[in-house]
Amino acid sequence: MKKYFQIIIFPVVVFFAFSSCKPKEKTAPEVPPEKSISIDFSYFIDPPDSTGNYAHAFQTNFYWENLLTDSLTLYKNMLNTISGKKLDFQDKNTWLATGLLNSGVDKYDISYFEIVHPDSVETKMFFTLDSTYTDLLLFDGYFFPDSTVGYRQINKPDTGNTSLKFLKIDWNIVSETKKEIKFTNILTDNSKNGSFVFYKDSVDSQYNIYFDFFDKTTDNHTLVEYNKTNNYGRIKDEQFYGDTIWHCWDNNRADIDCPPK
C-alpha cells in the first residue's frame, strides 16, 4: 500500500515542479498618451478687443502657444501614431513599437523603444525619412511605470543626419483634472535658452489654472491665473506693470480692480 501511494504521488510532484518553472508572461509598459502631457491653451482662443490685463496675458501666451504648436506637431503626430500600436518584447527588458506616419508627401518610419528599469521606464523614439534622416533620435526621457511623472527631451532635426536639443518636458499627472507640466527651451547658443512655461491646474476654488511664463533674456516671470469656467482672471508682471501686484479682468475679460482673495 505504501509503495502504491509513492507511485501515485510522483507524477503529481513532477507536474507541479514543471508548472512552477513555466516562464512568467511579460507585460508591456504603457505609452503615456500625448494629450496627458499637453497644455490646454483653449482659454486664449478669443483675442482681446482692446488693450488691458487680459490682452497682456493673451499676448504673453501667444508666443508660447505658437512655439509649442508649430514645433511639436511632428512629435505629437508620431506619438499618436505609436500610441495605438502594440509594444513587442525584444530583449534585456526592451520593448519596441513601429509605425508609419504619412505627413503630406513625407513618410516617416518610426521606431519607439521603452526600456524597463526597476523604478522607471526609459523611452526613445527614432525616425527615418527617405534619405534625409536615418534613425534620427527625436526624443528620449523616462517616466514612472504608472505614467504620472516623467520627462522628455525633444530634439529638433538639423542639417544632415543630426539633431539639436530643443525642449525639455517635465510632467506630474495627479489625475485627469490635476496636473503640472513644464516646457523649457534648451536650445544651445540661443538667447531664449532657459526660458520656460509652467502650467498647473486645480490651483484653488477661485482660480483653477495657473501659468508661469519665464523669459530668460529679461529674467522676468509673468504669472497668469484664471477660472476657465467663469472666465475671470488676473496677471502679475513686474517688468510690464512696474509693480508686483495682481491686475485683474472680469468674466467679460474687461479690466477690474482685483477682488480680495
Per-residue model confidence as pLDDT tens digits over 65-84: 888 887 788 888 888 888 87
The contacts of residue 255 (CB under 8 Å, 6+ apart) are 52, 53, 54, 247, 248, 249
Mean pLDDT of the chain: 85
Query: pLDDT tier at 31 (50, 70, 90 boundaries)?
Result: confident
Task: Provide long-range contacts, Cβ within 8 A and 24+ apart, for 60-69.
Answer: 60/213, 60/222, 60/224, 60/235, 60/237, 61/211, 61/213, 61/224, 64/183, 64/197, 64/213, 65/41, 68/39, 68/183, 68/197
- With residue 209 as reference, give the H or E element that holds it: strand 209-215
pLDDT value, residue 7: 43
Query: pLDDT tier at 36 (50, 70, 90 boundaries)?
Result: low
- Which of 83-87, 120-124, 132-136 shows the lowest per-residue confidence on average (mean pLDDT)? 83-87
Q: For the residues 223-241, what does the mean pLDDT come to? A: 95
Assess whether pLDDT exceeds 90 at residue 59.
Answer: yes
Place of cell 533674456: 217
Q: For the residues 209-223, what does the mean pLDDT come to? A: 95
Residues in the chain: 261
**What's the pTM?**
0.84
pLDDT value, residue 241: 96
